[in-house]
Each structure stands twice: as structure tokens, then as C-alpha cells.
Amino acid sequence: MEKHERKLELAARAAWLYYIANNTQDEIAAKLDVSRQAAQRLVSMAVTEKLIKFRLDHPLAACIELAETLRNRFELAYCDVAPSDPESEDPDASLGGWAAAYLETCLSAKAPTVYAFSTGRTLRAAVNQIQPMNQPQHKIVSLVGNMAHDGRASHYEIVMHLADRINARAFLMPTPVVASSAEEREFLQKQRSFLAVRELALQAKLVVVGIGEIGWNCPLHKDGFINDAEVAELLECGAVCDLVAWAFDKDGALVETPTNRRVAGLSLSELPAQRIVAVAGGTRKIEAIQAVLRGKLVAGLITDETTARALLAGR
């Protein structure tokens, strides 16, 4: 039943792209990452299942339209919008469930593949909802360190949990999130273990990241990776968001700060932007997500309906 529902959702997307957005079947195939023949079958299925009348007769119609509008406005290669649940007590879990379905499709690949991940609450929620698999051929790689200056471990580490869930191999970034000095960062990044993980991450077919806001009690601050003085410094320099622990301003430009010079994980400039998909939502992150989209720092976005409307409204 669950597989059938997912097939219906894909058929609804194909139908919207074909009948409303006037896409060709080749364009639909590219946007949905399926063959042209599969795109044809999906459109036919939408008709057979009576999803098509004078309008798209499916609960996801509004979300599909929002996703397509976001994709066009911000020149994204991929965009997906989850229905918002105003009564949900945990919006991260709700969006995480939507992202989990996307990740399951990607992770089901039979060919050996490298996948790279940052950390975060929403990504952890997504991993927790991924169905167990047996994919020992895959490699799951971390883009960021997993501890604070004092050795405290991250509560929202992703790689080990995902690797356990799908029986894949895990490769952790052997550094803190932010080093105590630029000299320490330079030393750590010369070590063989770092270079090995870096080389793997650069081979990733898919890079999945969370987006964090910058402010008091933001994720980096709350989890102990930066202190009060560093938060104040980032705010003074105009930082509004973090992506893989790197701080960016409202236009998606990397800010020049001592904190950024101590980030011990991979630099975003090393990663191919066309492979990066961000998972983020929530009113507190609107400005942060806008910054990432303005800077064209990612090629894909998975968000929720309320966030999508706010992004399009320019708030």
C-alpha cells in the first residue's frame, strides 16, 4: 500500500508537470530523474487513477505547484515540498519523514555509491524514519566534525546512525566541528585520516545538508560548537545562516570571520554544488534558507509548505 501511495504521488507530480506546467515528457523525465518511458507511464497512471479532471485531483497539488515555483525562481535542479501539519508538535520529524522517502529512493541504488551528509535535527529525524535496508556496497561519509572543543559529542550525528540503518560503511570526519585555532585546523587537515575522508566526500554522488540559522541558541551555539563571543562575532559580521558549519550572510556569501577560519570540516567550495540537496524548514529558518538560495549554494531543496510560501513571499 505504501509503495502504491508513493507511486501515486509520483504520478501526480508527472501529471502536474505535463498538464499544468506544459513540460514535455523528456523534461518530466529529467525533473523526476526517471526514464522517458517511465515518465509516460506515470502520466498514463494519473489518468487511469482519475487524478486528472479539470485540475490535479490530489492532496499534494498545492505542494507540487509550490515546489515547481520555487524550483524555477531559485534555479534549482530539484525541489520537493511537504504538506505542513499545523498540529504537529515536532515539525522536524514531519519534514524528516518527507525527506526520508527521498533518501530511501536514493539509497536503494544497487551500484556502490558514496553519500555525504552534514548533521542536524531534521536530518537526524529523516534518518530515524528510513526503512532498514541491506546496502553494504554503499559508503556514508561525514562532511563535518562530530565534537565540540571540549570533546563533547554531537547529539545529531547522522553518519553512524544511517550506516547502521542500511548496513553500509560509515566514515566519520576526524575533527571537531570548529577547531580551537586556525593552526590546529591546519594541522588536523594534514592528517591521513582527514585526507582519506575528504577524498571519499569529493566522490559523493549525493550531498545532503541541513541549514542552520545564526543567532543566540542557534544549533551551533546550543550544541556547544561555538560560544557566546563567537555568536556575537558572527552576528556583527552579518552572518545569518550556517551550512556545514560555515557561516554565510543574507546573500549567501561566506563571511570573513575568525570562526570561519577555524571550521575543520570540508569547505563547500570543494563540493560540486549540483550534487547538494538541503533539507530545512520552519519559520525560524526563513532568512537562513533564503540566503542559501540567493547564493546558489545548493542544487536542491526539501522543505515544508508553510516555509515554501514564506520563501516565495520574500519574507
Domain boundaries of the chain, sorted by first residue: 1-58, 60-313
Q: Cα Rg for the chain, rounded, in angstroms? A: 20
* Lowest mean pLDDT segment, chosen from 138-152, 198-212, 235-249: 138-152
Whether 1-58 shares its CATH topology with 60-313 is answered no
pLDDT category of residue 234 using cuts at 50, 70 and 90: very high
Average pLDDT over residues 249-278: 92
Is the model more confident about 315 or about 5? 5
Nearest in space to 236 (alpha carbons), one of 259, 252, 219? 259
Confidence band, pLDDT 50/70/90 cuts, at residue 21: confident
Question: Is residue 1 pLDDT above 70, yes or no?
Answer: no
pLDDT tens for 91-132 read: 677 798 889 999 999 999 999 999 999 998 999 999 999 999
Q: Using the predicted structure, report yes or no on whether residue 273 has a pLDDT greater than 60.
A: yes
CA angle 118, 236, 209 (to 5 degrees): 10
Query: Is CATH 3.40.50.1360 the classification given to domain 60-313?
Result: yes
Q: Is the pLDDT of residue 87 over 70?
A: no
CATH topology of domain 1-58: Arc Repressor Mutant, subunit A (1.10.10)
